[in-house]
Chains A and B, each alone.
Chain A
Amino acid sequence: MEKTNNKIRITIDGKRTYVTKGSTIVEAAKENGIYIPTLCHFEGADPKACCRMCTVKINNRMMTSCTTPVTEGMEIENDTEELNEVRKSIIELLFVSGNHFCPACEKSGNCELQALAYRYKMLVPRFPYSFPRKEVDASSPKIIKEQNRCIACKRCIKTIRDEHGKHYFAYKNRGQHLEVILDPVLGDTMPDDLAKKAMENCPVGSILYKEKGFDQPIGTRKYDKQPIGSEIENNV
């Protein structure tokens, strides 16, 4: 990318690039065809940095790149063995802390958590499985909320609202009992397109649009052939 007035210079893994002033590291990297993995972040919504997948190293310190703005001369480590190992361990923690039975999951093949596991070559988590007991809430007319697979990323809370800005999804309980639930009252009258959007925006298979089953043959799903992030890397 050329240097112009609203551009600043940074380096990512030793590669010098010019990026838009005021952007975050994730955005700046993307602008240059460099993939930094994200999971809780949803483009267009405020980053919350709760999953830590986008951890990079700046001046020997680990930082979340979805919330850190670029500054002139910044030197960023991204695709290193150490950081990829950190990311892999986060993915593994997410797998063992829920119940992820991928073979029986409607989102399998299109799921971002699973796709990250593929990209970072998780064959088995290094942590013991916790097999927590979770509920499946199918009481709303449009949506099934599958708590076994929720990673509490807040994407649904942030992006699914009605015309007055009211949230359809909310937190319930705290700490290890924390759950993201669908508001039972609002959920009753949820419009169809919003219910579909909720399923799309959820990175995993925790929000399911009712009566939609397995409709894509294996081999044609989003991450069957191409790793997550390749859409950014192939777009230089």
Chain B
Amino acid sequence: MNKKILATTSLAGCFGCHMSILDIDERILDLIELVEFNKSPIDDIKKFTKPVDIGIIEGGCCNSENVEILKYFRENCKILVSLGECAIMGGLPAMRNGIPIEECLKEAYIDGPTVQENKEHILPNDEELPLLLDQVYPCHEIVKIDYFLPGCPPRADLIWNALYALITDNPMEIPYEVVKFD
């Protein structure tokens, strides 16, 4: 059987979802038999080198770079999966939604109780920095997403069941205990 090609990325996430992928434990050996990784933090491939079957997205979109990478994934992956609460609904970074961006930045860099040294009241303004979006967006509000695997992080069994089904073209089994929002 031809190996399916997998790619993964972490946008505005904490890498917890990627850790949960590793939590499939010894099944990782089975996974390696079934798939080949392309662009992913796991192998540090930065650019797609071939068309990808399944792209796994952790994290929502909080800045311009997240949007760019998400679109890059959509262009290069047949199937996109939103993995985890942040990809699905913005997650904890989206707690800033509804609060004007200026207010957020001021709280973080000027007025916050833990700010000590910023006498000139500088907000991060280096051109190299990606621009913050007005709010954090769930991935499916930016590009089309094909599957959603909730959890914070998603249970390893959910990830395994879903990946296995997608890789082997079988229907997905999702037992009650493995679909949780936390």
Contact = CB atoms under 8 A, between A and B. Distances in A.
B95 interface: yes
Contacts of A124: 82, 88-89, 138, 140, 148, 150
B1 to A, nearest CB: 28
Given A114-B181, A123-B88, 4 more contacts: A102-B181, A123-B149, A123-B179, A225-B176
Interface stretch (A7-15, A26-34, A103-111): A103-111
Report the 10 A-B pairs with minimum CB-CB distance, sorted nearest first. Answer: A133-B98, A103-B152, A131-B97, A102-B181, A123-B148, A124-B148, A103-B182, A108-B182, A102-B182, A131-B98
Interface of A: 99-105, 108-109, 114, 117-118, 121, 123-125, 128-129, 131-134, 218, 224-227
Nearest to A109: B182
Contact of B176 (A101, A132, A227): A227
Nearest to A126: B140
Given A102-B85, A129-B90, A218-B182, A118 B98 contact: no
A148 to B, nearest CB: 9
A101 B98 contact: no
Interface of B: 82, 85, 88-92, 94-95, 97-99, 135, 138, 140-141, 148-150, 152, 174, 176-177, 179-182
9 contacts: A101-B91, A101-B95, A103-B181, A103-B182, A123-B88, A124-B138, A129-B89, A129-B90, A131-B98
A11 to B, nearest CB: 28
Nearest to A227: B176
Given A101-B92, A225-B176, A108 B181 contact: yes
Contacts of A99: 94-95, 97-98
A72 B91 CA distance: 49
